[in-house]
Amino acid sequence: MENNKSTADLLIIGGGVFGNSIAFHHCLNYPGRRVVVLERNELNSAATSRAAAMITKVRAKTQFIPLAKRTYIAIREMEALLGESLGLRRNGILHVAASEVKVRELDQLIDIAGQYNESAEYIAAEEAEKMAPWLDCSTVFKIGYMPDEAYCDPYLLGSFYARSARLLGAEIRTGITAQTIRMKDNRVTGVETDHGYFEAENTIVASGAWAPMLAKTIGVELPMAPVRSQYWITKPDPLFPEASPMVVIPDVNAYFRPEGGSLLFGIREKKSLGVSPSRLPSELSGFEFSPDRGMRDLTDAIAGLAAFFPTVYDIGIQHYIAGFSSYTPDNYLSMGKHSQIEGLMFATGCVGAGIAVCGGVGHAFSEMAAGKPNPYDFSAFSLDRFGEIDSTSESWVERCAAARSVKNSG
């Protein structure tokens, strides 16, 4: 067993984009404090590296907007610190509406963009087809264009956070598994690991889809469940220029973005696959997310997709990517301080939006860990909003998985 005697000011469990962002923000804004991140596998190797990484700011759930705006600030700060570019792709996004219901939602989104000082305009079908040559707008009612939305390489983003945090003094350690949270008199004092005990003033659980099992070690039920997301990448084709915008088509629950001369596209299946956190393998490499690489789900959706992406039948698929994010029944994040336990916070329940909101999440928890007020409105994200639950029960997992199927944003 190792000697981890010196008490950390801040102990973070999980080295994904949330954990690393918290470490970066805390080291940047509170220099001199001892920040330790524990990751059991490679950094950013779980949900983070698998994301489509659309950093969408303009959303119907307006509480996410300041968090996502902060991600763009964090990227600029890290680029200055590291003297390197993240290669952010500011290609913009097209929101395509092909029904009265979705037109109303699009109109609301354009209003929201105005309220939050984000550029947004309606554009004509011909213009949209010129920007995204694979897109067929013949059945489309209305198209919104938000030119300042971007995507990135999510693994690089996670690495930027970790490298910046390390440069500013964080200890980021891999190959260490947190096993149980330890408490004394209603206060968390640290975490027991397979490499000994780590003592801390403040502990933040940022262990993604695995967090509910760690929470259970002190009798806390975290309101979220692991739900699979999957997307495909086509073969390269001139139809997919690298500078073309991302596209969201809520009528068919689909999103698209360019990927190095190919098209990356994902769908929200009619029935998403949820898994009890007690059954998640600790390492996902080699894990079989789908025996047919999602082909059945794609087949179910393909007629709808073809109305907007007619070459989908012929284009050829080159890659299949899947992973687990944590979903909640209302599609709001699940995070914050525990209401009854001191010294413990959860940066969890990402609802498939963790790349977009990671900057704000890191900033928020960094402030709270310093005893400062949270600069963001987390009231919709509270950990006790669903009352008593069993985070490993089949009915709970089904409720969370059902929520992903109706999610609209990118």
Minimum separation from the CB atom of position 114 to ligand FAD (A): 23
Q: Which stretch binds ligand FAD (CB under 6 A): 140-148, 237-245, 348-356, 394-402?
A: 348-356
Q: Tokens 């354009």 — which residue?
A: 110
Which C-beta is closer to ligand FAD: that of 142 or that of 221? 221
Q: Which of 106, 113, 249, 350 binds ligand FAD (CB under 6 A)?
A: 350
x/- letters, 3..32, toward ligand FAD (CB under 6 A): ----------xxxxxxx-------------
Which C-beta is closer to ligand FAD: that of 267 or that of 322? 322
Which C-beta is closer to ligand FAD: that of 188 or that of 355? 355
Q: Which stretch binds ligand FAD (CB under 6 A): 217-225, 354-362, 377-385, 397-405?
A: 354-362
Which C-beta is closer to ligand FAD: that of 202 or that of 230? 230
Minimum separation from the CB atom of position 51 to ligand FAD (A): 3
253 binds ligand FAD (CB under 6 A): no
190 binds ligand FAD (CB under 6 A): no
Number of H helices, E strands in the chain: 10, 18
46 binds ligand FAD (CB under 6 A): yes
CA–CA distances in Å: residue 116 to residues 24, 220, 329 = 26, 36, 26
Minimum separation from the CB atom of position 20 to ligand FAD (A): 7
Minimum separation from the CB atom of position 287 to ligand FAD (A): 12
Q: Which of 28, 96, 168, 353 binds ligand FAD (CB under 6 A)?
A: 353
- What is the C-alpha separation between 302 and 313, in angstroms, rounded? 8
Q: 44 and 159 in contact (C-beta within 8 Å)?
A: yes
Q: Which of 8, 22, 38, 156 binds ligand FAD (CB under 6 A)?
A: 38
189 binds ligand FAD (CB under 6 A): no
54 binds ligand FAD (CB under 6 A): yes
- What sign for the dihedral angle of Cα 348, 354, 356, 358? positive
Residue 346, Ramachandran bin (φ over 0: left; ψ between -120 and 50: alpha; else beta): beta
Amino acid making up residue 221: E
Q: Which of 26, 33, 50, 268 binds ligand FAD (CB under 6 A)?
A: 50
x/- letters, 198..217, toward ligand FAD (CB under 6 A): --------xxxxx---x---
Q: Tokens 């009890």 — which residue?
A: 276
Minimum separation from the CB atom of position 193 to ligand FAD (A): 7
- DSSP 8-state symbol, 9: E
323 binds ligand FAD (CB under 6 A): yes
Q: How many residues does the chain have?
A: 410
CA–CA distances in Å: residue 177 to residues 46, 174, 190, 250 = 14, 8, 13, 39
- What is the C-alpha separation between 219 and 4, in angstroms, rounded? 25
Residue 107 neighbours by CB under 8 Å, 6+ apart: 142
Q: Which of 7, 41, 276, 393 binds ligand FAD (CB under 6 A)?
A: 41
Residue 369 neighbours by CB under 8 Å, 6+ apart: 9, 10, 22, 26, 202, 204, 345
- Residue whose C-alpha is closest to residue 152's, from 248, 19, 259, 45: 259
Count of residues near ligand FAD by CB under 6 A? 41
What stretches of 123-261 adopt beta strand conformation (E)? 142-146, 150-151, 171-174, 178-184, 187-193, 196-205, 225-234, 246-249, 254-259
Which C-beta is closer to ligand FAD: that of 145 or that of 210? 210
52 binds ligand FAD (CB under 6 A): yes
Dihedral of the alpha carbons of 274, 210, 57, 228, in degrees to the nearest 10 = -20
| Burial of residue 57, with CB atoms counted within 10 A of its CB: 0-12 exposed, 13-18 middle, 19 or more buried | buried
220 binds ligand FAD (CB under 6 A): no
β-pairing, 225-234 vs 317-327, is antiparallel
155 binds ligand FAD (CB under 6 A): no
Q: Which of 164, 202, 229, 272 binds ligand FAD (CB under 6 A)?
A: 229
Which C-beta is closer to ligand FAD: that of 113 or that of 178? 178
Which C-beta is closer to ligand FAD: that of 27 or that of 215? 215
Q: Which stretch binds ligand FAD (CB under 6 A): 40-48, 108-116, 195-203, 369-377?
A: 40-48
CA–CA distances in Å: residue 238 to residues 133, 140, 147, 263, 356 = 9, 23, 22, 10, 28
Residues in contact with ligand FAD by the rule CB under 6 A: 13-19, 38-41, 45-48, 50-54, 177-178, 206-210, 214, 229-231, 321-323, 325, 350, 352-356
